[in-house]
Structure 1
Amino acid sequence: MVTMTAPNPDAHGHTVSRDVGALVVDRRSGKVGVVMGHVGTYVQLRPPRGGREWDVSPEDVRSPTPTEELSAKVAVANRRWGR
């Protein structure tokens, strides 16, 4: 597991995990992504349902809201079941 510096609280005081496998939101695009790794100073994210990775700077990620987290988990489950 790759770790970066200690996570900083977001605007709501929540700690943002940038560990591989963590679910985060790209503040620039509003897209939810799973942390896949780190390259240089960037965090690599991939859509929860799979797809192309994209790079984002660590300060541009935030914790998902409960609604965003649930939506991402439902999307993954639907993909598993072929929906």
Structure 2
Amino acid sequence: MADGPAVGEIGYDSATDRLGEVMEISHSGRYHLRPIGGGKEWEVAPDNIEELDDTTRLRARVSDLNRGVCR
């Protein structure tokens, strides 16, 4: 498992193509993310979490804009 973002940082869920704030990392290594603007948390497998690089941040932001998530 690669190192992922810490609690309070923004992570990228590659399984759903979504950004979220890391709220918790469970003992099993699963991440709990919440949408940046607030909303319902979701769980992310350790293999699907990524720290953001510029390309990932841009791709996820465009995806959020296309879904109408960002204002």
Structure-1-length-normalised TM-score: 0.57
Unaligned ranges ≥5, structure 2: 62-69
**Greater strand proportion:** 2
Is structure 2 residue 4 aligned with structure 1 residue 21? no
Unaligned ranges ≥5, structure 1: 1-6, 9-14, 72-78
Aligned length: 60
Structure-2-length-normalised TM-score: 0.65
CA RMSD of aligned residues (A): 2.5
Please tell me whether the aligned partners of residues 32 and 64 of structure 1 are also in contact (alpha carbons under 8 angstroms). Answer: no
Is structure 2 residue 18 aligned with structure 1 residue 34? no
Question: Larger radius of gyration, structure 1 or 2?
Answer: 1
- The SS at the match of 2:31 is strand
Residues 1-80 of structure 1: matches in 2 within 5 Å? 8=2, 16-17=4-5, 19-41=6-28, 42-66=30-54, 68=57, 71=61
* CA deviations over 1:2-52 (Å, ceiling 9, x no partner): xxxxx72xxxxxx632x1111111010110011000234211000111100
Percent of matched pairs sharing the same residue: 29
Which structure carries more relative contact order (alpha carbon 8 Å, separation 6+)? 2
